[in-house]
Structure 1
Amino acid sequence: MSIERFAAVFLDSQQAVELTDRLDRCDPAVVEGAPVPAKAFLLACLSRVYPKVAVVAANEDAARTLYEDLQAFIPSECHLVPPSDVWSPTPDAELAAMRVSALEALTSPEGTAVLVGSVQALLQRTAGFGRRLKVERASMLSLADTASELSSMGYERTVMVESPGQFAVRGGILDVFPSNAERPVRIELFGDEVDSIRAFDPDTQRSTAMLDAVEVLPAREEGSSGADPCLLDLVPRGGLVVVDEPNSVVGHYGEFTAEFQARLVREAGLPQATSECIPNPETYKSWDAVLTALVKGRRLYLHTVPRSIPWERSLFRLGIDTTAVKRYRGQVDDLASDLREWLKREDTVVLLTERSSRVLELMGEHGVPAESGEFRSHSAVQVLRGRLSEGFRIPCVGLWVVTDVEMFGDRQIPKPRRAFRTGTPVFSVLDLREGDYVVHINHGIGIYRGLARLPEGDTQRDFLRIDYADGDKIYVPTDQLDRVQKYIGSGDQPPEIHRLGSGTWARTTARVKARVREMAKELLQLYAARAASEGYAYSPDTVWQR
């Protein structure tokens, strides 16, 4: 859904003009009454005025919800910033790549970037990255030197690249999956000259595009110190910092930093503790320090329900006049009647759906003029492919956005806590013996090494110790046994144990899910073809067949 036309109309409205005027004077402003999709629409519009925007959410769930709604408006310009696992000596490569890409988008002088992340993700200090590798076709390149440079940039050398942060060398071919790219690239050499550069699919190994050049950013940020800035400090002068539900942000960050400091004390007291396992106590910038800089710059707060903001003395309050859209739940006659009424008022009506073909058919059957693609006129409903958490109406721009949630009653169900449904569940620690292979739902196959009693606050608590490759280990609280099951393997060979944070387990489960979906699709097509084919009517049984 292109935001350009709607942004132009919204930014010309009296409300938006007053809001941007206040923001340009660095006066604090708060927008109240907007649901999450309307917040996403507002941020997408403001990104046309302030090209660099950082949005602080209270937690990862809130950040992801807002990010997913933003993708409906500015899919290529929004970036989800995940928090790093600072306790792991080998951070997850994909999360590290996401942070590098977001950091590059924010600090690049060109382009528009809207970063969305939890408060701990955006207040984590970063040393950024200084080096990058650029390879052009017909240039000279030493494979040995390039491999060494990629290793120093945090890339892992593997047999075959499967995820960001990996590279492989085979003869005169260099495969690398840049942290800032959606697909890996294959660089083929003729002697020491770069003969071709191609993007390729890591699953099929087939080329998808020919490239003239490729720029490779480091696989992860450099190690930070207590003097380094956080991502919010890197928002340029012409940018905008947005705090979504600021009271919740402060509350969550206070709990997070208290837990972080308590864990530092616990980990430092363990006999196996090393400096490599314990992060810098100044990893996260204090909220008070952030406020000192925040109140001097351009800032906007978002509240669904009006509330005070303790650290702001005077606020420009803007109530976004948004209304919910009626839930039709499959009653297409009622929907068609309302659509015709809105079109008579020359409102802009957008049906944002993942069933665009079917919706166009329904509009035709009920006599509602409809067009696919971007806006052309007020005389027809615009049917666009996409998804929002729910629809909304903004009267000041005459905009209606109706989604599958309103049309058909579809609802994005929150993902429940994952638990094993099959296999051999562990109901008690007595079901396990030291040395047993076990499977943790998030980290994969490891070896159970018994119970460990560790301090937690003023008390002691029991944990299951599970070991992984290269000395990695996790401690699982005994009240989370549903996260662990006994390993059941086929054959006599022991399973392969991987390092924590290598991404191997996530890639394996993702491949299995993809293959299961493909199998389900084939079965659906098979049974649909059977159901659609003509049958054969046999004659009734004769006396000889009875």
Structure 2
Amino acid sequence: MKVASHQAFTGVPSYAWPACAFSESTNHSVVVFLASNLGAAETLVEETAQLLQILKGIKATAKTLTESDAVVPIFEADCDLLGVLTAIRHGNHTPENPLFIACTPGSITRLAPSAAESDKKELIIQKGDRISLRDVAQKLSTNFGYAHESLCEQPGEYALRGGILDVYPINGQMPVRVDLFGDTVESLRPFDPSTQKSEGEINSVVICAPRDDTSTQFDAPFFTHLPTQSLVIGINQVFSDLVCEPLIKNLPSLLALEETDEVESGWEAHAVECAPAESLLIGKSQDSTQARIELLKQVSSLTRKDMVCLLTGDTQGSTERIEADVKSLDLPKFKPQILSGRFSGGVIIKSGSLTGVLSKGLVLLTERELFGRKKRPLASLPRRRTAIQAAVGRALDFGEIVNGDALVHATQGICLFRGIKPFENRGRIEDYISLEFANKAQLHLPLR
């Protein structure tokens, strides 16, 4: 169903939020995920984006919009704001390349620079442009207030060496290396500030000036910058927050996902027939393997023709075990999609409750139901990369400890140090500290 007004999906447990958000967002270029808790909004963005990738092969760009508080400094919040505005203005987003934004009532209503002021405070460099690096560096220093450093490692810094300019836009997530051949921009390469190694190539970079506290440029709420056809999805009665009143009055496409049947006056209600997948575990065997087999048999009987059935595991080992269990059932008509994915919990949605790909219904099982895992922690979307080592890395002297040494984790207790190992995270290789706990349980902490 196309969201053309203020709608509320009722009777929707939290595990069904990503499916509902996916179903309703597929025709929108920009989708805002609104929650009173930023972590909840980021988790919904991450899980909805996973469904979009799995079911339609589309990768969304995910951004977080923050507001300054005791945890987020003013500069960090301004960097987030300018980064989201840049994505809206220059990202060329479409339903096939959507922008997902996680935010809170405070951040979506915070003041932002007008489009006219933004134009004055932007510098766009494109591949093939003819420029003077020294003129650009002068503008960055004088007009934008960027700091000239020997190495470009933090937002708002630049480094000039011969025919190469490194600049870290405050609206970006990593610095960019501008390489010239003569006076022509030959390449634009984002790079990791920790290693100074390039990671791919881009066609253009937008560089924003920082906020000017003496200016009146921040003169309109952020939500006024959203494209007309944007969709704002709110959870846990967030639209009842008084701060959200301007959204209700000014934005045409709002969708509330509510666990109860209560709906505010003026909202069109739609009941979603669904239930948490963990309800299928009632009466199952206490033996985890046997319970999983019984669960899969029950799911096979529930899954009708054209109904989407997803079995997900957090790790490769989990997915391989699921594949083996499904194969052992020897049920020719049971053909679920088995894949790696992190979801808070599974859900069963009846046919006809949603539209599009999920119109015939959905069965989603996760690590929580299949392996008895605890609920996953709230997600945190990628932020800016810097050369500052993570606190865990600064706290340990790796010259003094070796593989097998005992350590004490602040919340998990005694463990053994198992070295520093590389793992892939969001398409790039990063170093992690590997810790081993009782029963061979492994925990990997990012070093950077």
Whether the TM-score (by the shorter chain) exceeds 0.5 is yes
Match status 1:65 vs 2:43 = yes
Residue identity opposite 2:107 in structure 1: A
State how far apart, in whole Å, the 2-side matches of 1:239 and 1:63 are: 17
Query: RCO higher in 1 or 2 (8 Å CA, sep ≥ 6)?
Result: 2
Match status 1:300 vs 2:255 = yes
238, 262, 276: which one aligns with 1:324: 276
Cross-structure match for 2:140: 150
**Deviation of the 1:138 alpha carbon:** 4.7
**Deviation of the 1:363 alpha carbon:** 3.1
- Report matched runs for 1:38-437 at 5 Å: 38-74=16-52, 76-77=59-60, 79-85=62-68, 91-93=74-76, 95-107=77-89, 110-111=93-94, 112-128=98-114, 129-130=118-119, 131-151=121-141, 152-153=143-144, 155-179=146-170, 181-211=172-202, 213-218=203-208, 220=210, 225=216, 228-246=219-237, 248=238, 250-251=240-241, 287-294=244-251, 297-309=252-264, 312=265, 314-326=266-278, 327=281, 331-344=288-301, 345-346=303-304, 347-364=307-324, 367-368=327-328, 379-396=334-351, 397-412=360-375
State how far apart, in whole Å, the 1-side matches of 2:21 and 2:226 are: 15
**Deviation of the 1:38 alpha carbon:** 1.7
Distance verdict in 2 for CA 1:92–1:49, change over 3 Å: same
**Deviation of the 1:413 alpha carbon:** 6.2
CA contact (8 A) 1:322 1:395 kept: yes
Residue identity opposite 1:58 in structure 2: S
Distance verdict in 2 for CA 1:508–1:325, change over 3 Å: closer
Normalising to structure 1: TM-score of the pair? 0.58
Distance verdict in 2 for CA 1:90–1:391, change over 3 Å: closer
Cross-structure match for 2:426: none
**Deviation of the 1:318 alpha carbon:** 0.9
State how far apart, in whole Å, the 2-side matches of 1:355 and 1:89 are: 32
Quick one: percent identity of the two aligned structures? 21
Cross-structure match for 1:452: none
State how far apart, in whole Å, the 2-side matches of 1:229 and 1:185 are: 30
State how far apart, in whole Å, the 1-side matches of 2:291 and 2:144 are: 59
Residue identity opposite 1:307 in structure 2: E
Task: Structure 1: state its 5+ residue gaps.
Answer: 1-16, 255-285, 371-376, 416-501, 529-546
CA contact (8 A) 2:345 2:375 kept: no
**Deviation of the 1:301 alpha carbon:** 1.9
**Deviation of the 1:365 alpha carbon:** 5.2
CA contact (8 A) 1:63 1:80 kept: no
Cross-structure match for 2:391: 509
Aligned length: 373
Which whole-Å deviations, capped at 9, do the CAs of 1:145-171 have from their partners, x for residues lacking one? 212333434544333223444322223
**Deviation of the 1:368 alpha carbon:** 4.4
Distance verdict in 2 for CA 1:37–1:137, change over 3 Å: same
CA contact (8 A) 2:344 2:376 kept: no
CA RMSD between the two structures? 4.0
**Deviation of the 1:352 alpha carbon:** 1.9
Normalising to structure 2: TM-score of the pair? 0.69
Structure 2 counterpart SS, 1:73: helix
Residue identity opposite 2:268 in structure 1: F
Which whole-Å deviations, capped at 9, do the CAs of 1:436-486 have from their partners, x for residues lacking one? xxxxxxxxxxxxxxxxxxxxxxxxxxxxxxxxxxxxxxxxxxxxxxxxxxx
Task: Structure 2: state its 5+ residue gaps.
Answer: 54-58, 352-359, 379-383, 404-416, 422-432, 437-448
State how far apart, in whole Å, the 1-side matches of 2:366 and 2:72 are: 43
